[in-house]
Chains A and B, each alone.
Chain A
Amino acid sequence: MPTEELNQLAIDRTRGDFRYDVQYQYDAGTGLTHQTIDYIVDAKGEPDWIRDWRHKALDVFLSKPMPTHWASKDLENIVFDNIRYYLAGGQKPSRSWEDVPEDMKRTFERLGIPEQERKFLAGVEAQFDSEAVYSNIKKAVGEQGVIFVGSTDGLKNHPEIFRKWFGKVIPTGDNKFSALNSAVFSGGSFIYVPPGVKVKHPLQAYFRINAENFGQFERTLIIADEGSEVMYMEGCTAPKFETATLHSAVVELVALKGAKIQYVTVQNWSPNVFNLVTKRAIAHEEAEVKWIDCNIGSRLTMKYPGVVLKGRKARGEVVSIALANDGQHQDTGAKMIHAADETTSNIVSKSISIGKGRATYRGLVHVPKHLKGCKNNTECDALLINSTARTDTYPAITVRGTGNACQHEASVSQISAEQIFYMQQRGLTEAQAMSLSVNGFVNDLVRQFPMEYSVELKRLIDLEMEGSVG
């Protein structure tokens, strides 16, 4: 194993808790009204259809109640009037790091993005607050007809593909936060992979929040045309502010017949971020969609990646790891909507709760009566580090019909004092013993992450555990 190379990747990234002062050309101010929408549309120079779309979405957002009848009451602590909805430097995304404004470039260099790009990526998009400041794709990949641009660029320059799918997987009114995103979205990626093209290396986006009282609302749309394959990875960080920050993304994936999409997230938000994200895919006939999701940090994360299995023999998978440290609530899970015969879905979720941290698993699996040959497997395991930690599981599985199969397993375990003593007796400190135990608990899932990310993940877990002991 090329250990040296991996060590270099795991550079100084202690939680992304740093910021540089940056001058913004565009600032929509605090609060959200229809004027805010017009400001964003004008600043971005978007066409009228999207202006109308945004205004309608704002009305939906305002009319929808907070989902606190089932979700955390902490949502009520988001003060929408105190948030800034659009902040941008005003420049177009550069194709070269040389042209990225110095402070933004320094930020991404510190996060190790240009280095990762050189080492193993087919393309990178780097978003700083509301807009991408860097976007580039390897020449050879671009020449195959692969499009990898920001959402603004996508809707302006590739409307024929963009409009066909935009908002179709996740309609505006899906939930309050998808409506909010639809009203004020900015940034995120638009990817199109032509039929039969298999993108060998991952495409990566990095979402960075730099400003205080800011809301980041990226919008990602990925379309893998028939028989194509693509892997997309996203990372996110923000500095630690006194006040709450909001991150509310919408991610839509479309895997056409026989296509394969893997979507990998490693988020490491600071503990002041409300992270409320809607992610869903449509898998057509014989297509495969796999969400690999790792949630570390944030104050409250609500995220349930889903797959609508629309075509015969489509496959959907969610592999997720959540780590809830003191004062954090990871409310995560998966949705699998079976809508065709012989579709299969697999959900494997592991959560770790530390201190007074809370992890919630919410799963929805739906197989209607008229379908045949559908299979679902759901496994959710929770690990509690202290007796003050909390975990809840809400699996909603409705599998009807006689020709369908479903399997569900859940477990809750605790790292015992005897196990820690045993490990300490071999010379490991208590923190090292905890860290190794937690890494062992998630090990089978971490192995499914691309190697570069699994190293990063292991390091992030070590960092979280260091602070949790003693």
Chain B
Amino acid sequence: MSSLKIQDLHVRIGEKEIIRGLTLEIPKGEVHAIMGPNGSGKSTLSKAIGGHPDYTITSGDILVDGESILGMEPDERARKGVFLAFQYPMEIPGVSNANFLRAALNARQPEGEEIEAVDFYEHLYEEMDKLEIRREFTSRAVNEGFSGGEKKRNEILQMAMLKPKYAILDETDSGLDIDALKIVSQGVNAQRGPELGSLVITHYQRLLDYIVPDVVHVMVDGRIVRTGPKELALELEEKGYDFIKDAIA
């Protein structure tokens, strides 16, 4: 029961069906990777799990620990433990990182209760240190004027602070140089454990050298077409996506 389960999911944007019968289960404690060519529907999957209003689910289900989240608002899903590390994290002008994180944590407290400021900063600084983020970061506006690497690091920091049950990392490696990639990957690896299930979405094998998955899925045209051990990623890297496409055809 402790899993993020996607059952025969169909998703449209407008009139166009992007996800066409996708089934996937990520048990807690495991890291799964989804690889696929551009336009295969990888990012659509992450937005649909998050509950983005532009993505219409026409059939199928998404279950968190056995409970369907389809009828839930995005924030309710988040509070159920679903976290999306965005490919393009949004800027929130004028809202400091510290205030944003505090608001997000307070939203998880029982009605009328708030986290203590001292505990919050202690926890925040600890996680920031792991990601080699400098202290002045707390008072900067969320993602405003951040480099690509800073934005991605911020996503991982938020994930560390919010302690999700299931994390979907959407192309977290895009826009990162090798040093940033290492730091971000270390941050993700540090959070691996029996209490977290992760889905790493990526176009390239490179990220999977650092975040080594338990299972690799290949996605083409809105479906999972192949599932295998981590070596599958290497095979893809070597032979390219055409090899899979040809194999299906």
Min Cβ gap B179→A in Å is 26
Which of B78, B103, B117 has a CB less than 8 Å from the CB of A425?
B78
For residue A41, CB closer than 8 A to chain B, the reply is: no
For residue B214, CB closer than 8 A to chain A, the reply is: no
> CB-nearest residue of chain B relative to A1?
B117
Neighbouring A residues of B77 by C-beta, 8 Å: 425
Contact B104 A428 (CB under 8 A): yes
Neighbouring B residues of A429 by C-beta, 8 Å: 73, 75, 107
Interface residues in B75-92 (C-beta closer than 8 Å to A): 75, 77-79, 83-84, 86, 89-92
Contact A441 B73 (CB under 8 A): no
Interface residues in A415-451 (C-beta closer than 8 Å to B): 416-419, 421-430, 432-433, 436-437, 439-444
Contact B73 A427 (CB under 8 A): no
Contact B94 A422 (CB under 8 A): no
Neighbouring A residues of B104 by C-beta, 8 Å: 426-428
For residue A77, CB closer than 8 A to chain B, the reply is: no
> CB-nearest residue of chain B relative to A442?
B94
Secondary structure class of chain B's binding surface, majority of residues? mixed
> CB-nearest residue of chain B relative to A440?
B94
> CB-nearest residue of chain A relative to B74?
A424
Q: How far is the CA of A5 from the CA of B149 in the complex (A)?
A: 40
For residue A407, CB closer than 8 A to chain B, the reply is: no
Min Cβ gap A5→B in Å is 14
Given A3-B117, A428-B75, A430-B73, A418 contacting B90 (CB threshold 8 A): yes
Contact A440 B141 (CB under 8 A): yes
Q: How far is the CA of A437 from the CA of B51 in the complex (A)?
A: 20
For residue B210, CB closer than 8 A to chain A, the reply is: no
Q: How far is the CA of A439 from the CA of B103 in the complex (A)?
A: 13
* Chain A interface bracket (under 10, 10 to 19, 20 to 34, 35 or more): 20 to 34
Contact A417 B53 (CB under 8 A): yes
For residue B162, CB closer than 8 A to chain A, the reply is: yes
For residue B50, CB closer than 8 A to chain A, the reply is: yes
Interface centre among A3, A419, A422, A433 (most CB of B within 10 A): A422
Neighbouring A residues of B52 by C-beta, 8 Å: 421
Neighbouring B residues of A443 by C-beta, 8 Å: 94-95
Q: How far is the CA of A421 from the CA of B51 in the complex (A)?
A: 9
Given A430-B73, A436-B100, A439-B95, A424 contacting B90 (CB threshold 8 A): no
> CB-nearest residue of chain A relative to B52?
A421
Q: How far is the CA of A430 from the CA of B74 in the complex (A)?
A: 9
Q: How far is the CA of A3 from the CA of B104 in the complex (A)?
A: 19
Neighbouring A residues of B107 by C-beta, 8 Å: 426-429, 432
Neighbouring B residues of A416 by C-beta, 8 Å: 90
Neighbouring A residues of B108 by C-beta, 8 Å: 427
Which of A3, A421, A436, A441 has a CB less than 8 Å from the CB of B103?
A436
Contact B50 A428 (CB under 8 A): no
> CB-nearest residue of chain A relative to B161?
A426
Min Cβ gap B232→A in Å is 29
Neighbouring A residues of B53 by C-beta, 8 Å: 417, 421
Q: How far is the CA of A419 from the CA of B77 in the complex (A)?
A: 17
Q: How far is the CA of A417 from the CA of B74 in the complex (A)?
A: 12
Interface residues in B43-86 (C-beta closer than 8 Å to A): 50-54, 73-75, 77-79, 83-84, 86
Contact A423 B162 (CB under 8 A): no
Interface residues in B95-144 (C-beta closer than 8 Å to A): 95, 99-100, 103-105, 107-108, 117, 141
Which of B78, B94, B158 has a CB less than 8 Å from the CB of A441?
B94
For residue B93, CB closer than 8 A to chain A, the reply is: yes
Contact B92 A423 (CB under 8 A): yes
Contact B92 A419 (CB under 8 A): yes
Neighbouring A residues of B74 by C-beta, 8 Å: 421, 424-425
Interface centre among B52, B105, B108 (most CB of A within 10 A): B52
> CB-nearest residue of chain A relative to B50?
A425
Given A3-B117, A421-B50, A432-B107, A426 contacting B100 (CB threshold 8 A): yes
Neighbouring A residues of B50 by C-beta, 8 Å: 421, 425
Contact B75 A427 (CB under 8 A): yes
Min Cβ gap A181→B in Å is 36
Contact B92 A440 (CB under 8 A): yes
Q: How far is the CA of A441 from the CA of B100 in the complex (A)?
A: 14
Contact A427 B162 (CB under 8 A): yes
Q: How far is the CA of A430 from the CA of B76 in the complex (A)?
A: 10
Neighbouring B residues of A427 by C-beta, 8 Å: 75, 78-79, 104-105, 107-108, 162
Min Cβ gap B197→A in Å is 17
Neighbouring A residues of B94 by C-beta, 8 Å: 439-444
Min Cβ gap B164→A in Å is 10
Q: How far is the CA of A433 from the CA of B92 in the complex (A)?
A: 10
Min Cβ gap B167→A in Å is 11
Neighbouring B residues of A442 by C-beta, 8 Å: 94
Contact B90 A441 (CB under 8 A): no
> CB-nearest residue of chain A relative to B89?
A422
Q: How far is the CA of A429 from the CA of B92 in the complex (A)?
A: 15
Residues of B within 8 A of A (CB): 50-54, 73-75, 77-79, 83-84, 86, 89-95, 99-100, 103-105, 107-108, 117, 141, 158, 162
Beyond the given pairs A423-B100, A439-B95, 8 more chain A to chain B contacts, judged by CB atoms under 8 angstroms and listed by A's residue number, are: A421-B50, A421-B53, A423-B90, A427-B107, A440-B93, A440-B94, A441-B94, A443-B94
Q: List 6 A-B contacts (CB under 8 A).
A: A418-B90, A426-B104, A427-B104, A428-B75, A436-B99, A439-B95
Q: Which 9 A-B pairs have the closest CB atoms?
A: A440-B94, A440-B95, A422-B90, A424-B74, A443-B94, A426-B104, A424-B75, A427-B107, A427-B78
Residues of A within 8 A of B (CB): 3, 416-419, 421-430, 432-433, 436-437, 439-444
